[in-house]
Amino acid sequence: MQSTHFLCSVVSYLTLKALKRSQGKLNWGLFYFHRWWRITPIYLITMAIWSSLMIHFVHGPSAHYIFSSSRQLCRDRWWVNLFYLQNLIPFPGNLNEMCFGWSWYLAVDMQFFIITPPILYLLYKRPRIGIATVIGLCLVSFVATASIAAYWGLKIGLNEGYYNERSVGHEEADRIYAKPYTRISSYLVGIITGYVMIKYEGRKTQIPKWGLTVGWCISITFGMTIVYAVWNTHHVEKSQVAAVLYLTFSRFTFALAVAWVVLVCVFGYGGPVNAFLSWGIWAPLARLTFGAYLLHPMVLFAYIFASRTLFHYQGSMVVYSFVATTVLTYAASFLLSVIVEAPVIGLEKTLLRRKTKQ
């Protein structure tokens, strides 16, 4: 979801820049349509491949059961995915019983995108009210997440079970993971990041060396803490207070760490980090990342479910599997981009160009 933070920063920056250029006038209908048209066709095509074709491509001990159950789930709930509601319907839901399970991210991202224009317009027109709105939404998210985590006794990491009996009988229910009201805080950090970028654009932003040192130390500490706080949880059980705090603030805190990296790079203080992230080799890969996100579980499942022997962990095997999966995923994403994504984008540009001429 931290990719959501980065993309939100870009959306926030570009939209605020367009509002500034057009003095607050923007075609919001086209704003929404472009988003829907940009991701929906390729999303539906990959969902069709997953639910209808994978069962014919992969044969193995687990393949038939997994793909046949996925096919039935998609037949029953395809319309939920079409309207980006699969993380909410049925409520609270089960990630293991979702058509195209990893698409919960698209649902959350689309739901955030729908509420983005009012927030951005407030930031453009009434910055103080806009910032207050963002802070208020973050506080609501924190309270909701903490309340859910405490009430249902949810644990973190590899800690098994629950802190109370309320979740017994509903162990597979998704209470927090794919819900927009528990994840929106990191998205809002992205919006504010874009706002800061546009606010200080063209200015010579001075950050003293001590400020950079403190900022990097805090950013690294936040990022590493969130990653390693759940380390060794298969041996040590965290307290409920620690679990509630982690579930409530982990995504927000990690988003702050990412926001720092984005801003120092934009303001010219990124140094080698900026040089690495700005490396030209990432540009062509970046155009294929959406397709790679949609396709990579299929590549993994085709490999795993076709196996007739157990997997034994070995470092070299993991490296080989990672490299092979990455190469095959991006190769498949390239084909999907050429066959589906590029024609769809080209069609939109053609239609908009005709409309502009008329």
**pLDDT, tens digit (0-9, with 9 covering 90-100), for 246-256:** 999 999 999 99
pLDDT at 27: 87
The answer, yes or no, to whether residue 222 has pLDDT greater than 70, is yes
Taking a C-beta distance cutoff of 8 angstroms, is the pair 74, 83 a contact? no
User: Final residue of a domain: which of 273, 296, 318?
Assistant: 273
User: Final residue of a domain: which of 233, 254, 273?
Assistant: 273
Q: What's the DSSP call for residue 303?
A: H
First to last CA, the chain: 40
200-215 mean pLDDT = 86
The answer, yes or no, to whether residue 357 has pLDDT greater than 60, is no
User: Final residue of a domain: which of 253, 273, 293?
Assistant: 273
82 and 148 fall within a common domain = yes
159-170 mean pLDDT = 85
Among 297, 341, 358, residue whose Cα is nearest residue 43: 341
321 and 337 fall within a common domain = yes
In the chain, count H helices and then E strands. Answer: 14, 0
267 and 292 fall within a common domain = no
Sorting pLDDT into bands at 50, 70 and 90, what band is 355?
A: low
287 and 238 fall within a common domain = no
Q: pLDDT (tens digit, 9 = 90+) per residue, 66-117?
A: 888 888 888 888 899 999 999 998 888 888 888 888 999 999 999 999 999 9
183 and 332 fall within a common domain = no
249 and 293 fall within a common domain = no
254 and 293 fall within a common domain = no
32 and 112 fall within a common domain = yes
Q: CA distances (Å), 65 to each of 61, 77, 249, 298, in order?
A: 8, 18, 38, 15
Count of domains for the chain = 2
107 and 85 fall within a common domain = yes
Q: CA distances (Å), 154 to each of 142, 173, 227, 257, in order?
A: 15, 11, 18, 25
Among 105, 65, 63, residue whose Cα is nearest residue 81: 105
Mean pLDDT of the chain: 88
* Residue in this structure with the two tokens 């639910």, named with its chain if needed: 51
177 and 295 fall within a common domain = no
The answer, yes or no, to whether residue 5 has pLDDT greater than 80, is no
The answer, yes or no, to whether residue 138 has pLDDT greater than 90, is yes
Q: Furthest-apart CA pair in the chain: how many Å?
A: 68
67 and 98 fall within a common domain = yes
Domain ranges, residue 330: 279-358
269 and 312 fall within a common domain = no
The answer, yes or no, to whether residue 1 has pLDDT greater than 60, is no
